[in-house]
Amino acid sequence: MSLRVRILAIPLAYEGGMALHTATSGAVPGLRELRLIVECDGALAAVGASRTNISYLTGVDAPRLEAEILDAAPRLDWRLPWAVFTAAMDAAMPRLSAPARMLFEMAAQDGAARAMGVPLAEHLGGAFEAHSATNQTLFWCDDDTLRHRAETYVARGFSELKLRIAVEGFDTDLRRLRLLRDRFGMALRLSADANGRWSEAEAGPRLAQLAGLGLEYLEQPLPAADWDGAARLAAGSPLPLMFDESLGDMAAVERLVTTRAVPLAHLKLAKLGGLDRLMTAGRLLQKAGIGVMVGQMNEGVVSTLAAAHAAVALGVTLRELYGADQLRRDPAGGLVYRDGGLDLPRGPGIGLSKHAAEECNVLWDHRP
């Protein structure tokens, strides 16, 4: 049996020059990912991924994260069975950062599912779905662009849109939300994400106005560390509040299970560090009666599919899986977004049968 393990650096960008732009990220014109590709006798045996330019969420800058991954890779035993690979990695490198661990653990889960001949969702304990619903996010942009993007999404069957707010003043946010509500009516499921930019004093009076516009929920109104303020706010809020940045690790998830500070939780692989932790977190929260959204950073095909399989396995109705929509030239191939969702390719693991490497920057090439 001939094994080959490679780590590739891949720049990604969206069609039409679209840039992600939130209150915390600023304008980000493109994505940078590392991909882990494992081949056995020339066939794809496992694939993992991690976006590295997400320091605004993780606090780990891209050069440091990439150096961490490239330092860890040679220290792993690539001939171990996938079933024990992650445990061995955790024992050898217990302080691996979440986005670094995510890359290796994702590959191990994909590899294990492929070895069993089942889709990743089944390997994670659920049932495969060929089509997964998702929302779409409207990033900060001018009003004409906002209207055009929203109309395009709705025409493609997406009925759930999230507006990024808190980049400018609240009056601007209200005007943009009213623009969407006036254009599409109450049939559009509308939510907003403040990315932790408000104070408790600011947020309180604003919630009634947001509820009056029929928002389904408001994500992360207060800074990540302000749990007490969020709990007070949620207790009297006329619309559900959701934690995202506040759930930066498993300890935070367990704290939410105990405190029930807010009724909704947004889980991401990049924050928790892998599919195993995300599935554990999701089940703990569901058991505690807290609504779960499975989402992602803006990421490429590999991470998007991994998150989608996790969302399917958990059976959550809140899904944020738009990350690979309209990406240009992802070497994993294109994904089909239609009818308000994402088509999951059939096949074992995440469903990919190949991943191009010829035009990628190979950072590490190993034949164990």
Using one digit for the tens of pLDDT, what is the confidence trace for 261-310? Answer: 999 999 999 999 999 999 999 999 999 999 999 999 899 999 999 999 99
Using one digit for the tens of pLDDT, what is the confidence trace for 23-39? Answer: 888 888 889 999 999 99
Domain containing 50 — which CATH number?
A: 3.30.390.10
Same domain? For 198 and 321 the reply is yes
CB-based contacts of 201, cutoff 8 Å, min separation 6 = none
Looking from the CA of 349 toward its CB, the CA atoms found within 13 Å total 23
Mean pLDDT over 3-10 rounds to 96
Same domain? For 71 and 133 the reply is no
Q: What is the pLDDT of residue 19?
A: 83
Is 349 among the domain residues?
A: no
Domain containing 229 — which CATH number?
A: 3.20.20.120
Using one digit for the tens of pLDDT, what is the confidence trace for 96-125? Answer: 999 999 999 999 999 999 999 999 999 999
Number of domain units in the chain = 2
Distance CA 33, CA 343 (A): 22
Same domain? For 108 and 172 the reply is no
Q: What is the pLDDT of residue 357?
A: 85
Same domain? For 261 and 290 the reply is yes
Name which of 192, 187, 189 is nearest 176 in CA terms.
192
Same domain? For 113 and 135 the reply is no
Is 350 among the domain residues?
A: no
Using one digit for the tens of pLDDT, what is the confidence trace for 329-366? Answer: 899 999 999 999 999 999 999 999 999 988 789 999 99
Q: What is the pLDDT of residue 60?
A: 86
Same domain? For 40 and 106 the reply is yes
Same domain? For 93 and 12 the reply is yes
Q: What is the pLDDT of residue 25?
A: 87
Using one digit for the tens of pLDDT, what is the confidence trace for 214-248? Answer: 999 999 999 999 999 999 999 999 999 999 999 99
In the block, which residue shows the tokens 């915390």? 24
Q: What is the pLDDT of residue 89?
A: 98
Distance CA 117, CA 200 (A): 50
CB-based contacts of 335, cutoff 8 Å, min separation 6 = 301, 304, 305, 324, 325, 342, 343, 345
Same domain? For 224 and 360 the reply is no
- pLDDT category of residue 18 using cuts at 50, 70 and 90: confident
Same domain? For 83 and 144 the reply is no
Q: What is the chain's mean pLDDT, rounded?
A: 96
